[in-house]
Structure formats: structure tokens, C-alpha cells
Structure 1
């Protein structure tokens, strides 16, 4: 027989204080009356907790608000946003973007660093670390409580190590080591598509859903799997490595050492550019009669592939009927991978993210939905991502903010 435990007064206070802090974080500044209405707590209890939180330096009075009653105006309370600072870093093959934010996740300063892959990896890593510290100083942050880093590859759930699934730059791992060694705060490493999935869940296309799959379409392909509001990473951190998925139409099979021959070869950035040329659509930088990756100038490599694929899809959407055949074939390619995910997980919702998914918008999502309905007996809604081009960075900031709040609010 088990008996229910009664919360001690200190435990009850901690629960109430954390509830109030989370409400101030999600709603913004509130009066004591508004906190009472949202929490259901009594007037004395709310008064006591606000006094405790002010004494702890987590809450302060930011103004007054007139109410329809006699007496003085009501005080307005808010989180001390400068109590802690955090940062998010989005690591791509062609460069790094980062932002420093306050406790509420509000961006205070940002920086973008293009990367020359010919530079020594250690030099690149140190340059990014210096940029992070300079951006923190610009934001008025004396130190960074938590930094979340999003990068391609597998993040080992046990060790936090970044493992490459194929030909990812060595400087990515060097960067993670440099940030961890150069900061005193916590450094969280996460797969970049998983961070984009977090952003879509919290502020994007699936804010009202707890189960969905984000399909990433850019230079490469990937997926983030959200099940019952929790990100599913897998035993080795490899959930979502959909570029390795064998699909018809690639003329080969992927290998453990590389995803060429898998879905990546059908819907990666270079493959999308080749498809556009086959449909007679112009590809930025490609010379007539050559492969899409042959350049007449401009960016080359992975980031160039993503930029060109984004431009091609954007132009096809704008072209209306002239781009319809290309979009239809691209949608079918996407559906071939989506159906494998949907018949196994039955998520009910598929979000198209990444550079290509974002600019493809409703035109691409609607076509994928039609093909998916023809391939699968399960109903799956297909949506275009709405977290924007900075979805990875947004997800990194949200992840860092959650970690800061767990630490600062955990004792209350």
C-alpha cells in the first residue's frame, strides 16, 4: 500500500515560485492581481512569493498599471532579464551565425562569420570563439551562463561528442572544443535540424502540436522527430539521418561512409539544381550544358548548393505554371522519403523546413501532400515551416534559455 506524500511548506513555496517565474517568462510583465488570476493562489501567497523573488534578484518592479478601482495603481512585475545571458550558435559548412540574448531569449547582439574551408581548423575555431566573446561584450554580458551550439552530424547522447556521418568539416569539432574550453558556462551541443524542430514546435508551424516530423531540405537532407512534445534523438543521436534512406531513382545505394545513393542524392541541394536544369530552368552560376555544380563564378561547395537550390525553388514558385512540372517532380521525390517516415511513426504532421522547404512554402507543401496521400494509407498533414531562415539559431536560443531557467528557477 502506498500513501500520498504531503508537500512540505518549503516545497510548496518552491513550486509556487517557479510557477510565477514561468508565467512571467511566457506572459511578460504582470501585476500581482494578474498573477493571482493565472495561478489561483491567494493574495498573501502571491505577495510573499513576489517579495522572495525580488530578494533573490529574479524579479523587479518595472512600472505601474491603472485599474478600475480606488487606491494606488498596481505595481507591474517582470523578470530581471539581465540576471543571466546566453548564446546560440548555428554552425554550417560555409559559415557561422551567432546571437547573444538575455534571460527571456531576447536577442541583444548578433554576428555572422563566413568560413574559408582552406583555413586551418584550429584557426577557424579560435576566430569563432573570439567573435562570440566580442559579441557578448557588445551585448553587455560579463559572462555567458549557457551556450547552445547547433551543428550537422550525430551528437552522442552519452558523451556529447560530435560525430560526422559523412564528409563534414573537421573544424566543426574543433569549434565545439574551443567553445567548451573558452567558456566557464554550460555548452550544449545539438544537431542543427533538431534545433530547427524545437523552433517549429515552440514558435513556428507546429506550436499547437506535440507530435510531428520536420523534414529538412537544404544542402543536405535531415529530419527532426518530435513525439509527444519530446525530441527523439535515438540511441546514438542518429534519429533523422534521412539522407541515408534508400529510395528509388538514385541509381545506387548509400554506404555507411557516405549518403550518396540515398535520399540525399534525390533531394539534396545539388540534386535539386540538376532537376531544375533537366526542366529547362536556370540555375544561378551553372553554365548551359554542364552539371549544376559546375560554376561560372560565385559560391561553390555545400553552402553554394543550398543557396542555388533555394534560388531555383523560389523562382519556380514565382513562375507559376512554368515552374509547376519541376515542383511536382521535386514534391514526388520528397514524398518518397516522407512516406517511409510516416508509415513507421504516423506523426500526423510533416513540416518542410530548411532553405528549400521554407521558400517552397505552400506550393511545395501542397504537392507533397498530394503525392504522400497517394503513397500512404495514413493521413498526414503537410505544412511549410514558419520559423524562418533562422530556425536553427532560434532553436539554439530557446534551448539555452530553457537550460538557464532550469538552473535559476530550479531552487525556487
Structure 2
């Protein structure tokens, strides 16, 4: 719920808020309108939020003083042509940083305060563990730092591994495709220690992106499945991301097969696996699909994936599934999964291919960092990221 909704619906806590809290709520409501609608007059903002004009004028002075907004011009209003001063978000107030760390892939994206992309760098490497990915990420962040002069407000890190939501550290699991741990991501990435930092699983970030700018913007419940070097699922239930008690919700790669081994171990040791048996060889999958017909190895691969996905869907009943990641862009994989999933699901399941492809975790992390930066000095906390009561991400592509 946005601050403006809180004012209109009377859902601010029953206890009388302190003056500072009211000011923060008003400022957040003011900014909500600018992020959503662009340049607006004080009168327009007062009408949109339901907050009095004098209170909105006081908020404008605070936001102008802090540098978060700018006066950008005037517009003629009313029968006599009186002009109203327009306010807009100051894109140079600061920037946010999203970082992706995966097996064989590292990327960073920097957004200004309005949400426009200032810098983006990525690299495909032979990194098989997190410390190696950290080294590449530091280099990519340094390149962006040379291009961006505004202060860093917040950062979000996407890691291809389960993350403990309490400590924001990697949970070590057997058969994980991406190994290693980092006790302090801010220090490891040389991010300013005063900047708030969020760390989460790559598939959780992809799920957030799918709900904001992907195929599930109108869905309160869906299952997101990421197919890459590893496989995982994100659970978006009742309008928010479900991480679980220990951050392992949706780890379908660790479901047990009839033989007792995990799905990820079975796939890693199959003809589509990498030499170390810990991940899926994307090139190998594509080469097998070049055969006509692809052969039993691909049938087994798709059967295993569909079986894991349907088991989760049977448990949580999401109604809709979005499939993303590098392998979702391979038509034979997508259609093979669709036939198997829709043919064996207990209840009706609508499967959609995500339009975000490989970049979903990066887009999700960038969104999370931007929301944290925007909420930094208002009423919200990092726990709000991933729910539907955050700012719209206008300008994020």
C-alpha cells in the first residue's frame, strides 16, 4: 500500500504518528506521484494524494531543500491562465546499483533516481564459484563508477545460490551449481559501507522483475521458473514474494528424484551436464536440440524439469507459470515443457514464456535497489522490497 493510499483509507496505525513520521509519509506520497506521473504541480499532487495543499507545499519545501526534487517549469492553468510551478524528481539526487553473480555470468546495472539506466556492464566468464564472480563484479562496478558522478544511495545483489533472509549470506547446499561464500558482500564488492544493501537469490529477483515489468504484472499468484546453468523457482503468492523461513523456498533443483539424488545432481550427471556434474551445459543442450529428433537425452531432461515444476505447482496451486532464463529462449525447450506441464498438472496451469529472458535477475536487482533508494528516507524498510506496496518503476526497461 502506498503512503497516499494509507492517508485515503485511514490505514496509518491507530496510534497518532509523530510529526516526523507524518512528514515522511507526506514526502513519500509526494514522490509517489512524481515517480508515477512525472512533472506535476503542487495542486495536482494534493488532489492525487488527498492531502491538503498547505501540507503538500510544506513537503515540497522539504524535498526541494534535500535535493530530491526540482522545479522544472510552469504550466498555464485555470480560466485566467495563471501558471503553476511544476515539480519533478531530480535524477541527479543519487543512483542505485544492481549486481548479478552467476556461474559463468556477471553483470551490473546503475540507475539514476528517476529509474533511467546510467551504466550497464556484463561479462561471460568461466567462473565456477562466488569469489571468482566477485572479482569480475568489482571490475565492472569500477567501470561504472568512472562514468557516474552521483552518490550511491542503495545496492542490491543477485546471487545464484540460496540466501538466508536474516543474515543476507549464502546458504551452502550440496550439489549447488555455484559454490563459495562471502561473509560481507559490501566489503567484498567495495561498495560504500553507508549505502543500504540487499542480497537475495537470483530467481527471487527474477520473480520480482516478472511481477513488475514482465508477463505477470496483473497476477497476485504465480510460479516463476528460471532455466539456466542451474534451475530454480520463485513463489509469488498473495501479492508478494515468498522466501520461506530460511530463504530456500522454490529451490526445485534440490527436490529428490525416485533414485534419491537431487534433480540438479541428476541433470548435472546427465548428457546435458557439465564435466563437474554440478550444472547444466547450455551449449550441450542446444547442440542436442540440433539433432533431428533430439533423442532420449533431451526427453529425459524435459521430463525431469516438468516433473519438478508440476510437483511444486501441485503444492502451491499458483494458477500461472512464467518460465525464464537462457533456456526459456530455446523454442524446443519451451514447447516441450509446455506440453508436459499442461498435460500432467492437477489443476489448470497457464504457462507463459517470460519476455525478460536472461536479464530478469539483473532487472529485478536493479528494481530492488531503486526502490530501496527511493524509500531510504521515508517510512518503508528493506523488507518491503518484493511486495506490491512499493514505487512504480517508470523508466526501467
1:212 and 1:227 in contact (8 A); partners too = yes
**Where does residue 159 of structure 1 map in the other structure?**
167
1:29 matched to which residue of 2?
39
- Tell me the distance in 2 between the aligned counterparts of 1:33 and 1:344: 49
SS in 2 for 1:173: coil
TM-score (norm 1): 0.75
Other-structure match for 1:306: 282
> Deviation per CA, 1:266-323, whole angstroms, max 9, x where unpaired?
5x7x86x75xxxxxxxxxxxxxxxxx868xxxxx99898235546877x79xx9xx88
Give deviations 1:121-153, integer Å, cap 9, x for gaps.
867634532431331231223x42222111111
Alignment pair present for 1:406 and 2:375: yes
- Correspondence for 1:265: 266
1:70 Cα offset (Å)? 2.7
Cα offset for 1:246?
3.0
Show the counterpart of 1:350: 321
Query: C-alpha displacement at 1:216, in angstroms?
Result: 1.1
Report what 2:210 is aligned to: 200
Structure-to-structure mapping, 1:8-407, within 5 angstroms: 11-67=21-77, 69-117=79-127, 125-141=134-150, 143-165=151-173, 166-169=175-178, 173=182, 176=185, 178-179=187-188, 182-184=191-193, 185-247=195-257, 252-254=259-261, 259=262, 262=263, 265=266, 274=272, 305-309=281-285, 332-360=303-331, 368-407=337-376
Cα drift, residue 115 of structure 1: 3.2
Q: Structure 1: state its 5+ residue gaps.
A: 275-291, 295-299
In the other structure, the counterpart of 2:384 is none
CA distance in 2, matches of 1:188, 1:13: 26
After superposition, the Cα gap between the structure-2 partners of 1:208 and 1:128, relative to the gap in structure 1 and judged at 3 Å, is: same
Aligned counterparts of 1:89 and 1:178: Cα–Cα separation in 2? 14
User: Structure 1 residues 13 and 339, CA, compared in 2 at 3 Å: closer, same or farther?
Assistant: same
Secondary structure of the residue that 1:104 maps to in structure 2? coil
Structure with more relative contact order (C-alpha pairs < 8 Å, separation 6 or more): 2
1:396–1:182 CA distance, 2 compared to 1 (3 A)? closer
Which deviates more from structure 2 when the two are superposed, residues 75-84 or residues 342-351? 75-84
The answer as to whether partners of 2:186 and 2:197 remain within 8 angstroms in 1 is no
Whether the 8 Å contact between 1:212 and 1:225 is mirrored in structure 2 is: yes
Shift of 1:374: 3.6
Larger Rg: 1 or 2?
1
- TM-score normalized with structure 2 length: 0.78
CA deviations over 1:63-82 (Å, ceiling 9, x no partner): 33445643244332111222
Cα distance between partner residues in 2 of 1:124 and 1:346: 36
1:263 and 1:83 map into 2 onto residues whose CA distance is: 44
- Verify the 8 A CA contact 2:162 2:171 in the aligned structure 1: yes
Higher share in helix: 1
Gapped regions of structure 2 (runs ≥ 5): 1-12, 381-397
